[in-house]
Amino acid sequence: MGHPVDGILLVDKAEGEISFDVIRRIRQVLPGQKIGHAGTLDPLATGLLIILLGQGTKLSQWIMSNKKVYEGMLRLGIETDTLDSTGKITAENPVPALTSDDLEKACRMLLGEIEQRPPRYSAVKVKGQRAYRLARKGASFDLPKRRVFVESLEVLSADFPFVTLRVRCSAGTYVRSLFADLGKSLGTGAHLTALRRKASGPFLVENALASGTLAGDCDPAVLEREVIPLHKALPGMAEVKVDGSLAQRIRQGYQPAWNELQDGFSMENGVSGYVKITSKNELIAVASVYEEKTQGIKSKLVRVFH
pLDDT band at 2 (very low <50, low <70, confident <90, very high): low
- Among the four given CATH numbers 3.40.1350.10, 3.40.50.2300, 3.30.479.30, 3.30.2350.10, the one describing domain 68-200: 3.30.2350.10
The per-residue pLDDT for 106 is 97
12 among known catalytic residues: no
pLDDT band at 132 (very low <50, low <70, confident <90, very high): confident
- Average pLDDT of span 187-209: 97
Question: What is the per-residue DSSP string for 233-285?
Answer: S-TTSEEEE--HHHHHHHHTT----GGGT-TT---SS---EEEEEEETTEEEE
Cα angle 23, 24, 26 (rounded to 5 degrees) comes to 65
- Average pLDDT of span 235-240: 89
The per-residue pLDDT for 269 is 45
Least confident piece of the model among 183-192, 225-234, 254-263: 254-263
- Average pLDDT of span 192-210: 97
Which 3 state secondary structure label does DSSP give 72?
strand
Separation between Cα atoms, residue 240 and residue 137, nearest integer Å = 52
The per-residue pLDDT for 52 is 97
Whether the predicted pLDDT of 111 surpasses 80: yes
Which 3 state secondary structure label does DSSP give 146?
strand
- The amino acid sitting at 195 is L
Separation between Cα atoms, residue 116 and residue 181, nearest integer Å = 8
The per-residue pLDDT for 271 is 52
The per-residue pLDDT for 143 is 85
Whether the predicted pLDDT of 264 surpasses 70: no
Least confident piece of the model among 15-19, 157-161, 162-166, 258-262: 258-262
The fraction of the chain above a pLDDT of 70, given in percent, is 97
Q: What is the pLDDT of residues 52-89, one digit of tens each?
A: 999 999 999 999 999 999 999 999 999 999 999 999 99
DSSP state of 122: S
Cβ–Cβ under 8 Å, residues 183 and 74: yes
Cα–chain center distance at 89: 29
Whether the predicted pLDDT of 185 surpasses 90: yes
Catalytic residue among 6, 12, 42, 181: 42
The per-residue pLDDT for 1 is 44
Residue 34's contacts (CB-CB under 8 Å, 6 or more residues apart) are 4, 53, 54, 57
CATH code, residues 7-66+202-229: 3.30.2350.10
- Average pLDDT of span 178-199: 97
Per-domain boundaries in the chain: 7-66+202-229, 68-200, 238-304
Whether the predicted pLDDT of 138 surpasses 50: yes
Matching fold, domains 7-66+202-229 and 68-200: yes
Compare 139 and 34 and report the one with higher pLDDT.
Answer: 34
- Average pLDDT of span 112-140: 85
Compare 183 and 132 and report the one with higher pLDDT.
Answer: 183
Q: In what order do the strands lie in the sheet with 273-279?
A: 238-241, 273-279, 282-292, 296-304
Residue 119's contacts (CB-CB under 8 Å, 6 or more residues apart) are 82, 83, 131, 143, 174, 176, 177
194 φ, ψ (degrees, to nearest 5): -160, 145
Ramachandran sector of residue 177 (left: φ over 0; alpha: ψ -120 to 50; beta: rest): alpha
CATH code, residues 238-304: 2.30.130.10
123 φ, ψ (degrees, to nearest 5): -85, 5
Cβ–Cβ under 8 Å, residues 85 and 192: yes
The per-residue pLDDT for 126 is 82
Compare 243 and 127 and report the one with higher pLDDT.
Answer: 243
Separation between Cα atoms, residue 247 and residue 261, nearest integer Å = 11
Separation between Cα atoms, residue 222 and residue 5, nearest integer Å = 13
The per-residue pLDDT for 177 is 95
Average pLDDT of the chain, as a whole number: 91
